[in-house]
Amino acid sequence: MPISILSGLLAGFVGKKLFDGIWGAFDEEEPPESKHLEISWLKLLLAGAVQGAIFRAVREVADHGSRRAFMRVTGTWPGEERPERE
């Protein structure tokens, strides 16, 4: 549990930095948020989609990495070995 919390915090930090860097390549202004009055809907939706994709990818990498580290230490995998068939 502590490893999961720590990896989640680290993933959030890395995801924010990565998003800021990628957004800076597209636009000189800060990313729009729903709290801003004068924003383009297109920019708002684009920023949300890019940010969501980055955070999800970074979170998955961090979670899988922490599970692999747990397995190296304990010898057991903390979760299912493969996805269930539908």
Within a domain: 86 = no
pLDDT confidence bin for 1, thresholds 50/70/90: low
Split into its structural domains, the chain has a count of: 1
10 has a pLDDT exceeding 70: yes
Residues in Cβ contact with 51 at an 8 Å cutoff, skipping those fewer than 6 apart: 19, 31
Domain residues for 58?
2-12+28-74
% residues pLDDT > 90 (the chain): 47
- For the stretch 42-63, pLDDT in tens is 999 999 999 999 999 999 999 8
Q: How far apart are CA 7 and CA 51, in angstroms?
A: 18
With the CA atoms of 57, 59, 61 and 65 taken in that order, what torsion angle do they form, in degrees rounded to the nearest 10?
Answer: 180
Within a domain: 84 = no
Q: What is the pTM of this model?
A: 0.78
Within a domain: 19 = no
Within a domain: 58 = yes
Q: How far apart are CA 86 and CA 74, in angstroms?
A: 31
